[in-house]
Structure 1
């Protein structure tokens, strides 16, 4: 079965990888990575459908749930945890599941990905419901853990998306939306943390970021819902206020404090010259969209 997967075949351009100079290896890796963006471009239509599905889940108080094994699972967890500081989203809003549990993030858990029941069980444990969207990630497109999770998600009438790096993937057959990224054979045979991993990471960036834009987490191209949990992010928050309103640092800092460290509210306060309470009320009335609050 594996020998039929493009991601497992040998790359004809790197048959002498062990004899290449360091510069030659780096150059061929860079050249091979050019295939990633082309593969993604071909799947923009399917990725767009996935984003619409995720936005609908968010609007119905549902979640985006990534499911994967190995590198794919780690990439899902990475995207999920980064949504919290970037978009101020609740930690449960974007969730990452990996075969073998969180200990598999740093250490391989033997056999965890080979049982489809484990994928089902992990979704049961977080009370999957019809408002959620489950995105199954598998470079091979056939990981049993992911297949089991997607099949269970379909039974629960949740949204399902399969992201693989082979065509006619098994996970595509059990997903409402299939994203098949043809990245080809790896520089190091079978090492799908390379092009396949890069492609998956880029697509997850696209899906989560665009979905967050779609629910009002962004104003212009500014991350106005970030959580300022440390000094660096507090300073970034003030710079965002400055960029959005053209005020100086002192003014941005003052409004940042008046808005109880809520960037959106500070921006609306400045641009509409209103109180914190009025700004918060305006934002609540338009589901958090700053641009709509400003024109209301």
Structure 2
């Protein structure tokens, strides 16, 4: 299905690119039960401290790498690991032929210590990328839970999510609509998985890691809002809690020390709402 973009004005092209054949709501409606299954599988592994691998090549692999790297500072959890064809060098430039390897994905999973209780999520717009499919099939043969996120695929894994993109605006350029929908889906899956694993309280990031000045301020603001105290008092709580938001909140509301707060959180699997 060719289109004459060469003779279109910039305004015409902008209008053309705004129109999409499928939107994220369509993806959710068409795959809701499978997405729910994936979130449950992810949540179980987060709570049981197992690993969740996001594996792909090119744009798909980069999106998995980005997602896994962003989860830790936001939710203080390192369950997700990104794996990309060609290794870390492929994040910044194309590594020719890497997506055709039938062994690299398997080897990378093994290097990261893939175990029977882990989860492998393959991302492949075409649903046929050798690097990704070989890794999924190897995991499936080992009875390890698998999921494939693709546009349309005849593969049959434990969980199968189909985005449904048929034509990209630039034919074959899956970094466009396929990439956008994949990113939205990964955001949704990781975020809800973290909510269901006790990494949030209401809509507060109570497990955020204070890795910089911005996140330190955010941590203190969260403590202040939940404990209904001023910034100065919340800062003192934060310091006494070894810079852990949930501990600070439990210490204040329950009027207990750090050790008792730690034990109480452990007994409640880290779910703050069960305590306060």
What TM-score results when the alignment is normalised by the length of structure 2? 0.95
- The whole-number CA distance in structure 1 between the counterparts of 2:22 and 2:11 is 17
Shift of the 186–72 alpha-carbon distance from structure 1 to 2, 3 Å rule, reads same
Give 3-state SS (helix, strand or coil) of 1:18's partner: coil
Match of 2:83 among 87, 97, 110: 97
Q: Is the Cα contact below 8 Å between 1:118 and 1:148 reproduced in 2?
A: no
Corresponding position: 1:282 with 2:264:
yes
Q: Is the Cα contact below 8 Å between 1:150 and 1:160 reproduced in 2?
A: yes
* Unaligned 5+ runs, structure 1: 1-9
* Unaligned 5+ runs, structure 2: none
Q: Is the Cα contact below 8 Å between 2:208 and 2:219 reproduced in 1?
A: yes
- The whole-number CA distance in structure 2 between the counterparts of 1:194 and 1:36 is 13
- Cross-structure match for 1:232: 214
- The whole-number CA distance in structure 1 between the counterparts of 2:24 and 2:131 is 25
Q: Is the Cα contact below 8 Å between 2:123 and 2:149 reproduced in 1?
A: yes
- The whole-number CA distance in structure 1 between the counterparts of 2:185 and 2:4 is 31
- The whole-number CA distance in structure 2 between the counterparts of 1:284 and 1:36 is 37
Instruction: List aligned pairs for 1:210-229, cutoff 5 A.
Output: 210-229=192-211
Between Structure 1 and Structure 2, which shows a larger proportion of helix residues?
A: 1
- The whole-number CA distance in structure 1 between the counterparts of 2:18 and 2:231 is 41
- Cross-structure match for 1:248: 230
C-alpha RMSD over aligned residues = 1.6
Corresponding position: 1:73 with 2:61:
yes
Give 3-state SS (helix, strand or coil) of 1:242's partner: helix
- The whole-number CA distance in structure 2 between the counterparts of 1:274 and 1:33 is 56
- The whole-number CA distance in structure 2 between the counterparts of 1:223 and 1:156 is 36
Deviations along 1:236-256, one digit per CA (max 9) or x if unpaired, are: 111111222222212211211
Give 3-state SS (helix, strand or coil) of 2:93's partner: coil
- The whole-number CA distance in structure 1 between the counterparts of 2:5 and 2:256 is 64
- The whole-number CA distance in structure 1 between the counterparts of 2:259 and 2:6 is 65
Match of 1:177 among 159, 170, 178: 159
- The whole-number CA distance in structure 2 between the counterparts of 1:80 and 1:61 is 15
- Cross-structure match for 2:186: 204
- The whole-number CA distance in structure 1 between the counterparts of 2:266 and 2:26 is 41
Bigger shift: residues 207-216 or 241-250: 241-250
Corresponding position: 1:62 with 2:44:
no
